[in-house]
């Protein structure tokens, strides 16, 4: 059985395909599904392993799932002051295996901004595309079950009390069983991550998948990519994989490093955008039992256009550990005592400052140095989160502070936040984008069809091509734009296609 599998891997890598796709996250898998549906010969390569969630989802301890599903076992900081914990998936399905399954449409003001940069997005067709994706992925609003999701309800109550705009969050988790484990692989089998949706569809249409295959370098000459040098993680052997067309979809952090390492784009990764998350542990006078339920049910969007949103997040001891890494022993004990009355919330901000992706050997090293406007944004987001939580009845809230600072009122919080120095912020990020931005100018890394500048047969198709950060979970935007690009590519390669949204750019 193992010998057969190895032979199949060997054959797949040696033979190559008409189209080889690097990366199986939201972008790569969308390409895989679309190109195979168009009848093309497609090989999808994934650096991580195929974890194969069981019929009821991912099981086992969170620590093991973290090591199996996250790049670098979750230890992949963004360097800078302060260092920022960054997470991305490294398994079949990429980050879609470990995200919250949010599926937002691109905010209209972001589209307006992109249009002002010359990106020819057509609203009505873009909307149609989203409708198609939402239907196919069964995007909806998880049922609010009495006795569950009290943490989300409290956030909703706090926002209502303040008269703030608070909305239900659309997610691709039909039949969610509220196991509260979204960030470690869905334990219900409900989340339509790529490993259970688009990748099986692509396989059914004849596509092939090889996991544990790490793309090292693209061989090219004269503006034409020829082969992809791949390291077979199962054997350690290196193979040159031939193709007619190459799609790079390793994500906003990995893709630019592959392009730079291959000397295909000097501009790739010179600029990268992140959303930043600041976590707040709130304690309420009543039992909240935040471990019962899912996350993200409600989202406060009162200050979304200003780059700030607030939501509840998964609550389990393992997920509190990130915040607890800087706590004192006493603070940790206090939280254990308050476990059933506590809940975890996130203020997500869209900083103005962009970072860069450096390469250290084969390793991508993201770097971001926050500036004063970003710190101001974080402070405002934190103030608003405290307002909402205390309006919801919280008795105390632990700030995202490296020294574990607890406040008992918005006013006390305001003072504590004003005194915070840059290094005091305890931050994380799960959204990276815009490192190979599309554009119409000569300095764009890719054009509006995702075609890599200077190459006739290379397309980039992941979060890296977004022109900017978007202030919301980017999965929907990535999949919509890549679907459109994929249909255009399929037509160019001789497949069947639907009408494109970016028609004007042809």
Partner 1 sequence: MRKTHVNRTVARLVEVELRPLMDLADERAVRDAGRYAATSLELGGPHIQVALKLAVLGLDTLTVLRLGSPFSKARREPATAWWNTLRGYPGFAQLRQLVRTPAMLLFSERIHIDRRA
Residue number, 229 or 324, with CB nearest to partner 1? 324
CA neighbours closer than 13 Å in the CB half-sphere of residue 441: 8
Only segment of 42-50, 322-330, 435-443, 483-491 that touches partner 1 (CB under 8 A)? 322-330
* 325 touches partner 1 by CB under 8 A: yes
Query: Which tokens in the block code for residue 140?
Result: 């909806």
* 340 touches partner 1 by CB under 8 A: yes
CB of 152 to partner 1, least distance (A): 17
CB of 344 to partner 1, least distance (A): 12
Residue of 212, 318, 379, 412 that binds partner 1 (CB under 8 A): 318
386, 392, 470: which is closest to 432 by C-alpha?
Answer: 470
CB of 65 to partner 1, least distance (A): 11
Give, for 398, the enclosing helix (H) or strand (E). Answer: strand 396-398
Dihedral angle computed from the Cα positions of residues 281, 352, 424 and 421, in that order, rounded to the nearest 10 degrees: -130
* Residues in Cβ contact with 64 at an 8 Å cutoff, skipping those fewer than 6 apart: none
In the window 403-442, what residues touch partner 1 (CB under 8 A)?
Answer: 423
**CA–CA gap between residue 133 and residue 329 (Å, rounded):** 47
Residue 270 · residue 283 · CB < 8 Å: no
Give, for 300, the enclosing helix (H) or strand (E). Answer: strand 298-300
Residue number, 275 or 404, with CB nearest to partner 1? 404
Q: What does the radius of gyration of the chain's CA atoms come to, in whole angstroms? A: 22
* Residues in Cβ contact with 199 at an 8 Å cutoff, skipping those fewer than 6 apart: 24, 29, 32, 33, 44, 92, 93, 209
* 326 touches partner 1 by CB under 8 A: yes
CA 481 to chain centre: 15
What phi, psi does 148 have (nearest 5°)? -115, 160
Residue number, 224 or 419, with CB nearest to partner 1? 419
**CA–CA gap between residue 28 and residue 395 (Å, rounded):** 45
* 289 touches partner 1 by CB under 8 A: yes
Binding mask 349-368 for partner 1 (x = CB under 8 A): -----------xx-x-x---
Residue of 54, 83, 223, 454 that binds partner 1 (CB under 8 A): 83
Residue of 117, 240, 292, 306 that binds partner 1 (CB under 8 A): 292
* 321 touches partner 1 by CB under 8 A: yes
Provide DSSP, 119-144: ----HHHHHHHHHHHHHHTT-B----
Query: Which tokens in the block code for residue 58?
Result: 């991912």
CB of 62 to partner 1, least distance (A): 6
CB of 188 to partner 1, least distance (A): 17
Length of the chain: 506
Residue of 76, 152, 429, 457 that binds partner 1 (CB under 8 A): 76
Neighbours of 262 (CB within 10 A): 20
* 77 touches partner 1 by CB under 8 A: yes
* 167 touches partner 1 by CB under 8 A: no
**CA–CA gap between residue 160 and residue 153 (Å, rounded):** 10
- The three-class DSSP label of residue 73 is helix
CB of 77 to partner 1, least distance (A): 8
* 334 touches partner 1 by CB under 8 A: no
Binding mask 36-75 for partner 1 (x = CB under 8 A): -------------------------xxx--xx----xxxx
Residue number, 128 or 424, with CB nearest to partner 1? 424
Binning the chain into helix, strand and coil, the percentages to the nearest 5 are: 35, 25, 40
* Residues in Cβ contact with 281 at an 8 Å cutoff, skipping those fewer than 6 apart: 320, 323, 335, 342, 343, 344, 397, 398
Only segment of 43-51, 226-234, 253-261, 325-333 that touches partner 1 (CB under 8 A)? 325-333
Residue number, 14 or 363, with CB nearest to partner 1? 363
For residue 231, list its beta bridge partners: 214, 238
CB of 309 to partner 1, least distance (A): 25
* Residues in Cβ contact with 61 at an 8 Å cutoff, skipping those fewer than 6 apart: none
Only segment of 126-134, 297-305, 326-334, 388-396 that touches partner 1 (CB under 8 A)? 326-334
Residue of 6, 286, 287, 411 that binds partner 1 (CB under 8 A): 287
Residue number, 289 or 457, with CB nearest to partner 1? 289
Residue number, 336 or 504, with CB nearest to partner 1? 336
**CA–CA gap between residue 309 and residue 289 (Å, rounded):** 23
CA angle (406, 409, 412) in 5-degree steps: 70
Residue number, 66 or 473, with CB nearest to partner 1? 66
Residue number, 72 or 206, with CB nearest to partner 1? 72
CB of 352 to partner 1, least distance (A): 25
What phi, psi does 165 have (nearest 5°)? -70, 115
* 145 touches partner 1 by CB under 8 A: no
Residue number, 65 or 213, with CB nearest to partner 1? 65
Size of the site for partner 1 (CB under 8 A): 39
- Residue ranges binding partner 1 (CB under 8 A): 61-63, 66-67, 72-77, 79, 83, 85, 287, 289, 291-292, 316-318, 320-322, 324-326, 329, 332-333, 336, 339-340, 360-361, 363, 365, 402, 423
């Amino acid at each position: 059985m193992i010998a057969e599998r190895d032979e199949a891997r060997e054959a797949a890598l040696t033979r190559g395909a008409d189209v080889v796709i690097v990366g199986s996250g939201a972008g790569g898998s969308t390409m895989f599904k679309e190109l195979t549906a168009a009848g093309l010969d497609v090989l999808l390569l994934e650096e991580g392993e195929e974890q194969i969630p069981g019929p009821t989802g991912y099981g086992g301890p969170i620590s093991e799932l973290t090591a199996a599903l996250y790049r670098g076992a979750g230890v992949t900081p963004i360097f800078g002051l302060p260092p920022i914990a960054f997470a991305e998936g490294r398994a079949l399905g990429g980050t879609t295996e470990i995200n919250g399954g949010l599926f937002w449409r691109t905010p209209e003001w972001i589209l307006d901004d992109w249009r002002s940069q010359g990106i020819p997005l057509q609203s009505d067709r873009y909307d149609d595309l989203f409708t198609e994706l939402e239907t196919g992925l069964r995007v909806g609003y998880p049922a609010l079950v009495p006795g569950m999701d009290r943490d989300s309800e409290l956030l909703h109550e706090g926002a209502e009390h303040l008269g703030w705009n608070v909305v239900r969050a659309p997610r691709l988790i039909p039949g969610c069983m509220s196991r509260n484990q979204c960030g470690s692989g869905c334990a219900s089998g409900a989340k339509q991550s790529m490993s259970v949706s688009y990748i099986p569809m692509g396989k059914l249409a004849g596509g092939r998948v090889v996991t544990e295959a790490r793309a090292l370098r693209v061989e090219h000459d004269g503006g034409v990519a020829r082969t992809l040098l791949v390291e077979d993680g199962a054997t350690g052997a290196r193979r040159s994989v031939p193709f007619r067309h190459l799609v790079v979809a390793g994500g906003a952090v990995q893709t630019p490093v592959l392009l730079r390492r291959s000397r295909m784009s000097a501009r790739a990764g010179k600029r990268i955008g992140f959303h930043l998350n600041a976590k707040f542990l709130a304690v309420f006078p009543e039992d909240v039992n935040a471990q019962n339920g899912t996350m993200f049910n409600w989202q406060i969007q009162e200050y979304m256009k200003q780059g700030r949103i607030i939501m509840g997040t998964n609550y389990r001891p393992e997920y509190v550990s990130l915040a607890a890494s800087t706590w004192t022993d006493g603070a940790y004990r206090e939280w254990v005592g308050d476990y059933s009355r506590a809940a975890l919330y996130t203020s997500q901000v869209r900083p103005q400052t962009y970072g860069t992706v450096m390469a250290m050997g084969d390793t991508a090293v993201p770097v971001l140095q926050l500036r004063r406007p970003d710190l101001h944004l974080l402070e405002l987001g934190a103030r608003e989160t405290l307002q909402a939580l205390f309006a919801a009845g919280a008795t105390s809230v632990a700030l995202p502070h490296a020294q574990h600072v607890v406040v008992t009122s918005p006013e006390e919080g305001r003072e504590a936040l004003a005194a915070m120095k840059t290094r005091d912020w305890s931050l994380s990020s799960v959204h990276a984008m815009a490192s190979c931005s599309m554009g119409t100018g000569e300095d764009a890394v890719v054009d509006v069809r995702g075609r890599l500048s200077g190459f006739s047969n290379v397309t980039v198709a992941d979060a890296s091509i977004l022109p900017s950060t978007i202030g919301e979970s980017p999965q929907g935007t990535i999949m919509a734009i890549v679907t459109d690009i994929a249909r255009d590519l399929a037509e160019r390669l001789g497949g069947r296609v639907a009408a494109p949204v970016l028609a004007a750019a042809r």
